[in-house]
Structure 1
Amino acid sequence: MWRGERMSNLDRLIRFSVVAEEMSFSKAARRLNVDQPWLSRQIQQLEAQMGFPLFVRSTRRVSLTDEGEALFASAHDLAEAAEQCRQSSRDLMRMHSQTLVLGVNPYTFWVPARKLAIETYQSRHPRVTIDIVSNYSARLISKLQKRLIDVALVGQPCEFPGLETLILYSSPVSLLVPPGDPLAGLGKVPMSALAGREIPVTNPRLNPERWDMLYKPFFDAGARPMIVSEGETAVPFYARDRSLAVLTVGWPHSEQGALADFVHLDIEGEVPVAKYALVRREEPARGLLDHFWQTAERVAAEFDVQSPPLSKPADNSVDFAMQHALVA
C-alpha cells in the first residue's frame, strides 16, 4: 500500500470517528468544515474498503452497525491522538517562529492600554511580528481554546475555565446628554435621575452577560431600554437624532465624534464598571507570550485598572468609538 493511501485511510477513520460521535453527517461536516456530500462519499469509500457497512442510515437518524461500534472503539482513540499531534505540531511551529497571534474584539480599538501594550512590546522586540485577529469575544475564546491564537483581548465576562486573566483596563459607565438636556448642567447625577427616560442600547442577545453587568442596573433604577436592532454602531445616531441620553465607557478618548456636542456626566453611587482583559491558556507559555504578558502587566499597573482617571476636556467632547465599548 502506498504511503498516500495509508494517510488517506487514516483521514477517513478520523472522519468516521467524528460522524460516529455526532451521529449526524451534517453536524460532523460542520465540525470538520467540509461539505456533507463529500463527507458521505468518504465514509462510503471506507465502507467499501472494509467490506461492510458502518452506519445504518435513515431519513431521520444515523446509527452505528455492530461492526461500526467495534471500529469506533479504536478509531476514537486514533482521532484523539491525531488531534493531539496536530496541536503539538502547531505549538512547536509557533515556538520556533517569531510571530505572536493576538485576538482582539473589534470594539476594543479605543482602549488606550491596548495600544500602549502593543507599541511597548514591539519597541522592545522589533523582530517579533504581531498578527492581529479580530472577532467577537466569544469566538476569540473558542479560538484560544482551540490553540488557533496565543492570547486574546476581550470584554466582560472575563473569567473562563482553563484560562488565565489579566484585567488590562477598566472604566466606569458614565452618561452623555444633549446640550439642552435638563441634566446637562449638573456634572454628576444619581442613577435614579434616568427613571422614565429612554436609553438606546443594543440587543441583549449580542452579549447577555455583559449587557446585564453594564446596562441592567440602569433599567432596574427605572430607565427604559430602546433596543437598537441595527447594532452598536447605530446607537449614537439614535441618541443624536432623538436627543436621547446615552451610556458610555472610557470617556474621554478623543475630541471628535458623532456626539461631540453632547455633555458628559459622571454617575453617583455604585456604578457598573466595564472591564477589558487579556486571556491566555493556563499552561507553560513560550517566551514570546510571556514577554507580551509581562509588558501588559506593567501597562495595566500604569493605568491603575481599578480606578482609571476620567479627566474632563474643556469642550465636553467624546469619541464615537466610546459608544461601542459596552457591547464588546
Structure 2
Amino acid sequence: MKPKDFRSLRYFVTVAEERNFRRAAQKLGISQPPLSQQIMLLEKEYGEQLFIRHARDVELTDAGRALLSGARTILDLADDARRQIDRAVRGEAGTVTIGFTPGISFHPVVPAVVRLWRRELPAVELTLRQAPTDELCAGLRSGADDIVLIRPPIQEPPALTIRALQEEEMVVALPPDHRLLSAPSIGIADLADDDFVLWPRHLAPGLYDSIIQRCVEAGFTPRIRVEAPEKATAIAFVAAGLGVSLAPVSLRQIHPDKVAFRPVAGRPFLTSIALGTRRGERDPLVIRFVELTRHLAA
C-alpha cells in the first residue's frame, strides 16, 4: 500500500536519520506523541513494522531499510516539483515563444534580451521565431507566439497590447557609385530621381508606410524598382547597384564596405521597436518577460 501523503514519509525519514523519536520530533518542530502516531499509521498502511524500538533509540527493520531509499527519492521528487511550481508561479520557469520581424534581429535589443534571459532565468526555455508583422500578430491571437517584437505603427487589434521599447534612426542606403556619396547627410527630396529598393509591405507595414509618406511629403512617389524578400536582402540589392533604400540604422552592419549609409537631413526620421502581448495576459512568465525587457530597453 502507498502512504496517503508525503508528511508520513518525511516523518519516517527523519526518525530513521535521527534514530530517536524525541530528537526527530524536535527537528520536525512537533511533539513526540503525534510523531509516534504517524509512524504507527505508516506501519499499519504498509502492514510491516518499520522500526525496532529500544529504550533510548530505534533501528530500522529490513522493511524499514527497504523503504528508506525509496522514501528519500520520493521526497526529493516532491521537493523538486514544488520548486518547479514556485518558479512557474514567479515567472521563472517554463517555455516562452518570442516572435520577431525580419530585420529586428540586427538590432542590439534582440541578442541583449536573449542574454538577459539566459543569465537571469536559466530554467526558461526560449523558442525564437521570425515572421512578418501580420503573421506575428495572428500568432499572438492564436497562441502560437507569447511575445512579439515588431515595428509600429500597426493597426493594433483589440486583443493585443503593443508597448514601445526603443526608437531607432532611419538612414539612407546608397550603392557604391551613387552621386551623393560625398554628402554628409541626404534629404529625402534628393532621392526623387532614384530607383528604390524596398520589401513587401506585409513584412513591416508601419515602416513601409512611413517611408512612402516621407517621400510623398518631399514631393514625389518613390519609384520601387525591386522588392526584396526582407530588409537585409534589400541592403544586399543596394550593394548590387539596384537602387537606394531607407533602412533602420541597425542594418548598416550589412555590406558596410559596399553600401554607404547617410543620416536623413532635416526633420528626424525615426522608427521604433515595440513589444506585443495578448491584452490582459496573466501568464507569470510572459509578465516577467515584459518587465525585464522593458527595463533592459530603458
TM-score norm. by structure 2 comes to 0.60
Corresponding position of 2:158: 161
What is the aligned partner in structure 2 of residue 225 from structure 1? 223
- Is the counterpart of residue 241 in structure 1 residue 230 in structure 2? no
SS of equivalent to 1:298? helix
Q: Is 1:279 paired with 2:287?
A: no
3-state DSSP class of the match of 2:189?
helix
**SS in structure 1 of the partner of residue 288 of structure 2:** helix
1:111 corresponds to which of 107, 114, 117: 107
The Cα offsets for residues 171-230 of structure 1, whole Å up to 9 and x where unpaired, read as: 122112234433222211222211222222224465544321233312542363224245
User: For the structure 1 residues 245 and 289, does the alpha-carbon distance in structure 2 shift closer, same or farther, using more than 3 Å as the test?
Assistant: same
Deviations 1:78-111 (A, max 9, x none): xxxxxxxxxxxxxx99x89611222222432112
* Distance (whole Å) between structure 2 residues aligned to residue 234 and residue 134 of structure 1: 15
Aligned twin of 1:148: 144
Residues 173 and 253 of structure 1, relative CA distance in 2, 3 Å threshold: closer
Task: State how far apart, in whole Å, the 2-side matches of 1:295 and 1:97 are.
Answer: 14
Conserved? CA contact 1:152–1:279, under 8 Å: yes
Match of 2:264 among 261, 267, 280: 267
Q: How many residues align?
A: 207
Check 1:243–1:184 CA distance in 2 against 1; reply closer, same or farther (3 A cut): farther
Give the match's secondary structure for 2:276: strand
Give the Å deviation of 1:162: 2.8
Q: Following the alignment from structure 1 to structure 2, what is the Cα–Cα distance between the partners of residues 267 and 130?
A: 37
Contact kept, 8 Å, 1:201 with 1:235, in 2: the verdict is yes
Q: Looking at CA atoms only, which structure, 1 or 2, has the larger radius of gyration?
A: 2
In the other structure, the counterpart of 1:123 is: 119
The 1:149–1:235 alpha-carbon spacing in structure 2 relative to 1, beyond 3 Å, is: closer
Q: CA RMSD in A?
A: 2.9
Aligned to 2:4: none
* 1:228–1:234 CA contact under 8 A, matched in 2: no
Q: 1:297 aligns with which of 283, 289, 294?
A: 294
User: What aligned pairs does 1:50-199 form with structure 2 within 5 A after superposition?
Assistant: 98-158=94-154, 159-199=156-196
Task: Decide whether aligned partners of structure 1 residues 238 and 286 sit closer, same or farther in structure 2, where only a CA change above 3 A counts.
Answer: closer
How far the C-alpha of 1:129 sits from its partner, in A, is 0.8
| Contact 2:170-2:269 within 8 A present in 1 as well | yes
CA distance in 1, matches of 2:142, 2:239: 42
Q: Which runs of 4+ in 1 moved over 6 A?
A: none
**What secondary structure sits across from 1:173 in the alignment?**
strand
Write the distance in 2 (CA, Å) between the matches of 1:193 and 1:218. 10
The 8 Å contact of residues 133 and 204 in structure 2, kept in 1 or not, is answered as no
Indicate the percent of aligned positions where both proteins have the same amino acid: 17
Secondary structure of the corresponding residue to residue 215 of structure 1: helix
Change beyond 3 A, Cα 1:297–1:230: closer
Aligned 8 A contact 1:201 1:228 in 2: yes
Q: Which residue of 2 aligns with 1:250?
A: 249
> What CA distance in whole angstroms lies between the structure 2 residues aligned with 1:252 and 1:116?
16
How far apart, in 1, do the equivalents of 2:282 and 2:176 lie?
51
| Distance 1:109-1:288 versus aligned 2 partners, 3 A rule | same
Shift of 1:274: 2.1
198-207 or 138-147: bigger deviation: 198-207
Residue segments in structure 2 that go unaligned for 5+ positions in a row: 1-87
Q: Quick one: structure 1 residues 181 and 139, their matched pair in 2 at CA, closer, same or farther if it must change by over 3 Å?
A: closer
User: What is the SS of the residue equivalent to 1:144?
Assistant: helix
Find the aligned partners of 1:141 and 1:243 in 2 and give their Cα distance. 32
The one-letter code matched in structure 2 to 1:100 is V
Question: Aligned equivalents of 1:186 and 1:136: distance in 2?
Answer: 34
Q: CA deviation at 1:240?
A: 2.8
**d(CA) in 2 for partners of 1:113, 1:297:** 10
Separation in 2, partners of 1:226, 1:147: 36
Comparing 165-174 with 289-298, greater Cα deviation is found at 165-174
- In the aligned structure 2, how far is the partner of 1:166 from the partner of 1:207? 16
> How many angstroms apart in 1 are the aligned matches of 2:217 and 2:98?
37
- Unaligned residue ranges in structure 1 (runs of 5+): 1-91, 302-328
* Contact 2:168–2:249 (CA under 8 A) maintained in structure 1: yes
